[in-house]
Amino acid sequence: MATIEVQRQLLPILNSPNQGARFYNPELPSSEPFVPGHRTCAGCGPSIQYRMTSKAAGDNTILVGPTGCMYVANSSYLCTPYNVPWAHTQIGSAGSFTAGVAAAYEAMIRKGKWKGAYPNIICEAGDGSASDIGLASISGALYRNHDCLIICYDNEQYANTGIQASSRTPYGGMTTFSPPGPLVPEGKKLYPKDLARMMAAGHPHCYVATASVGYPIDLMNKVRKGLNHKGAAYLMVYTPCQKGFVYETPRSIDLGRLVVECGLYPIWEWHPEKRAFDYSFRPQNMRPVPEYLKLQGRFGHLHAEHIANLQKFANEQWRMMGVELPEALIQAADAKNLINMASAAEAAAVAETV
């Protein structure tokens, strides 16, 4: 059988000393695969992420959208915001549908049925899809190493359905499925599934990384590294949700920084060639977790002991990154040194607004 060699794209890595730079970057392509006109909320973290990642990918791209906010709020019939091909798939089909697209292009190019460079194939799965119902399908796609990038836009909850807890919802996070009450003062009792690490550990041949909308250049470079990697790549991106987190809409990018500076969202890369984690990313500052928590209504009900638990969790993350902990953060993990976020009545009032 005569076969045609599949040509792949190679996207340049952006050189910027400041990975969190928010200013105009002339190296970025002017094309906009994701355009305005969709129905996402003001300040929507996932849609900010969507614009950055699709811009980094460029026009020879196919997007796959399992059910979630980036399907429902984005894609209205006859008025979708995608300038590249996009397809909806079921919430549990994130990895499998994407694998089908990738396999189709491998076969069609090889058999001469489609001519051109292999497209960037990107799946935009919410954390509900990625950590719960679509986990097996994504693991399957990573395991089989289809040439594609699977992004988990992590807003730490099922937001589209009206703020329900997912496996990524943090400890203490209030959702409509994890409300605080006299018997459950902290709301969510479980800690988030360590999803990206699970993907790296289980699929070591894949490029795996975490990122945050607070660091756009870093995010876009990771998208390009994932796409340049021949085979499957997985990227988990912190994307705050103002509706579910209950914060002022202009603070999305700030939260994207604070979550990293507070040690609650470690930013790292897994290099498949070296079979090693790269923990060299360092935020400009290190802060205690209340700096992050206090901006969000979803944590408004937490007591000192719960905040201390979150600080302990953050401190473990810093240690995992190889960072020596300053005394202040060790102190902050002791409930004696903390105060409650709000009274129960105030927390209940916030809960009413969700």
Partner 1 sequence: MTTVAERKKKTVRMNGCVASAQAAKYADVDVIAAYPIRPYTATMMALAQMVANGELDAEYIVADSEHSQLSIAHGASSSGARVFTGSSGVGVQFAYELYSPISGSRMPVQMMIADRTLDPPGDFGSEHTDALSTRDMGWLMGWSCDAQEAFDNHLMGYRIGEDRRVLLPQMVCQDGFFVSHITSDVELPDPGQVNEFLPPYKHPYPLDPRHPVSHGPQIMPEQGPPLQLERARAMEESMAVIEEVHDEFAKIFGRRYDPWVEEFMTDDADVVFFLQGAHAVTARFAIQHMRDRGLKVGLVRLRTIRPYPTDRVKEVLSKFKVVGVIETNMGLGSVSSGGVLYAEACAALYESAQRPLVFSFMAGMGGEAIVLKEFYWMTEKMMEVQRRGKIEKRTHWVGFEE
Rule CB under 8 A: which residues touch partner 1? Answer: 1, 3, 59-62, 64, 71-72, 75-78, 80, 82-90, 92-93, 95-101, 103-108, 110-111, 113-114, 116, 119, 136-137, 139-140, 143-144
Task: CB nearer to partner 1: give 9 or 337.
Answer: 9
Task: CB nearer to partner 1: give 93 or 178.
Answer: 93
Token digits of residue 311: 């600080």
Task: CB nearer to partner 1: give 93 or 315.
Answer: 93
CB of 273: closest distance to partner 1 in angstroms?
25
CB of 124: closest distance to partner 1 in angstroms?
13
Task: CB nearer to partner 1: give 24 or 77.
Answer: 77
CB of 199: closest distance to partner 1 in angstroms?
14
Token digits of residue 222: 């990771």
- CA–CA gap between residue 331 and residue 244 (Å, rounded): 30
Task: CB nearer to partner 1: give 71 or 281.
Answer: 71
Backbone Cα Rg of the chain: 20
Report H helices in the chain. 45-57, 69-72, 94-110, 127-128, 135-144, 195-202, 216-228, 242-245, 252-261, 290-293, 304-320, 327-332, 344-353
* HSE-up of residue 247 (Cα within 13 Å, Cβ side): 22
Mention every residue, 6+ apart, whose C-beta is less than 8 A from residue 241: 41, 44, 45, 46, 69, 155, 156, 157, 159, 163
Task: CB nearer to partner 1: give 64 or 255.
Answer: 64
Task: CB nearer to partner 1: give 224 or 303.
Answer: 224
**3-state percent helix, strand, coil for the chain, nearest multiple of 5:** 40, 15, 45
CB of 176: closest distance to partner 1 in angstroms?
22
Q: Positive or negative CA dihedral for 67, 73, 77, 82?
A: negative
CB of 265: closest distance to partner 1 in angstroms?
28
Question: Strand 207-212 vs strand 269-271: parallel, antiparallel, or unpaired?
Answer: antiparallel
- CA–CA gap between residue 237 and residue 239 (Å, rounded): 6
Alpha carbon dihedral 339, 290, 127, 273, in 10-degree steps, equals -130
Task: CB nearer to partner 1: give 137 or 296.
Answer: 137
Token digits of residue 148: 């594609």
CB of 136: closest distance to partner 1 in angstroms?
5
CB of 240: closest distance to partner 1 in angstroms?
23
CB of 216: closest distance to partner 1 in angstroms?
24
CB of 219: closest distance to partner 1 in angstroms?
22
* HSE-up of residue 332 (Cα within 13 Å, Cβ side): 21
